[in-house]
């Protein structure tokens, strides 16, 4: 079990970062559509928010993936998950959004673990 401690944190970072990298690149492929969705969700200044979100998701996801400034990136993504969870995915009575809300809470919890315990052995921060 002790030997797995070297490989489980990087695997966890890979799994957690993959969602953000994929989502950010998906938004990057259609920023105007993303801005329209943000406008429909009543997100202020949707054109600016689109690029801020893309930067957070892609850069934060990549930082977590390679283990660069991992604790800071994890803290930013934890806050991002909480803000999007409570701000976007919490309409009362919408079951699909409630699943996304709890997904965001769980991801925030995972990122808080990274903030507390660091990136693990295979990372730029540890090099």
Q: Is residue 126 part of a domain?
A: no
Would you state the pLDDT for residue 116?
Answer: 96
pLDDT of residue 26: 97
* pLDDT (0 to 100) of residue 92: 73
| Residues of the chain predicted below pLDDT 70 | 127
Number of domains in the chain: 1
pTM: 0.92
- Cα separation, 13 vs 66, whole angstroms: 8
Q: What is the pLDDT of residue 76?
A: 98
Domain, as residue range, for 34 = 8-117
pLDDT at 94: 83
Q: Is 125 a member of any domain?
A: no
In a domain, 49, yes or no: yes
């Amino acid at each position: 079990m002790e030997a797995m401690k070297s490989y489980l944190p990087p695997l966890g970072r890979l799994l957690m970062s993959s969602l953000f990298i994929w989502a950010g690149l998906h938004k990057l492929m259609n920023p105007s559509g993303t801005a329209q969705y943000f406008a429909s969700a009543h997100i202020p200044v949707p054109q600016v928010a689109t690029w801020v979100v893309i930067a957070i998701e892609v850069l934060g996801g990549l930082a977590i993936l390679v283990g660069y400034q991992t604790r800071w990136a994890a803290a930013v993504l934890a806050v991002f998950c909480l803000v999007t969870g409570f701000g976007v995915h919490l309409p009362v009575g919408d079951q699909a959004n409630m699943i996304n809300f709890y997904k965001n809470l769980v991801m925030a919890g995972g990122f808080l673990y990274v903030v507390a315990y660091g990136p693990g052995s295979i990372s730029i921060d540890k090099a």
